[in-house]
Structure formats: C-alpha cells, structure tokens
Amino acid sequence: MKTTADFLDDLRAKYDLSSDYQLCKMLGMHRQQVSRYRLMKGAFDDVIAVKVAELLDLNPGYVMACMHAQRASEEHIKKAWERAAQVLGGIAAGVVIMTNPVMGFDAETASLLTLAAESSVLCILC
C-alpha cells in the first residue's frame, strides 16, 4: 500500500519537479499541507486523491483506498482498505500486462480490454 509521501514522490518523479513548492503549485495547495502529508500527519481527501490518480494515470479507487487505509485507526479497518487497494491496484497492473503487444493483442483488442477495466467489467479471453 502506498502512502501520501509515496504518491507525492511519484508525482515529482513523473513531472520532473525539483521541489515540493512546484508540487504545491501543481496540486493547488499550500506548502504546509504537503509538509503534513510528507510527515504522515494527514492523508489526501477524496478530491485530492482523484486528482493525484488522474495525474499519475492510476485507478482513483486505488488511491482513495490507500488514503482510507492510511487514515484508519483500527487495525481490521486498515487491513480491509489495504485489501481493497491491492485489488484496485491489481486491476490496472493486469490490464497493462494483458495489453502488452508482446502478448499478441492487436490495438483494437487492447483498447477493448482497457475500456472493460475502466468500467469495472471483468473480461476473460481464452
């Protein structure tokens, strides 16, 4: 499961940002808030989680589940959110693997698989 700091690091790497100040500008938030996220004194709310997911091309449900797990104070609740994050993160990883050209899927089939994953429809090709 990823934390707020992990997602912030991913954003900085993906967009080649040299400072958290640039990250603040990108996310439209104050520097203090990013510092709190880095110190694990807070987690993204759902609005920021969706924005981060879009910027990182991730399933928004995955990022939100990670944030809910980070916020959970009871261990069994935390574990439930972590399992949800694994499932939601695994769907995206599976689509990337299945749509890899090496696997022999043409562009149209790969597009259909991606669309199915985005709409939460399970497709099994034999």
Q: What is the pLDDT of residue 1?
A: 85
Residue 49 covered by a domain? yes
Residue 123 covered by a domain? no
Q: Are 26 and 18 in contact (CB under 8 A)?
A: no
Number of domains observed in the structure of the chain: 1
Residue 65 covered by a domain? yes
Residue 23 covered by a domain? yes
In the predicted structure, residue 112 carries a pLDDT above the cut 50: yes
Nearest to 1 by CA among 78, 109, 94, 112: 78
In this prediction the pTM is 0.70
Nearest to 117 by CA among 32, 35, 58, 33: 58
Residue-wise pLDDT tens digits, 75-109: 999 999 999 999 998 654 444 444 445 455 556 55
Residue 125 covered by a domain? no
53: containing domain: 4-118
Structure-model confidence comparison of residues 51 and 122, the more confident one: 51
Look up tokens 């939601």; give the residue: 88
Q: Provide the total of helices (H) and of strands (E) in the chain, helices listed first.
A: 7, 0
Average pLDDT value for the chain: 82
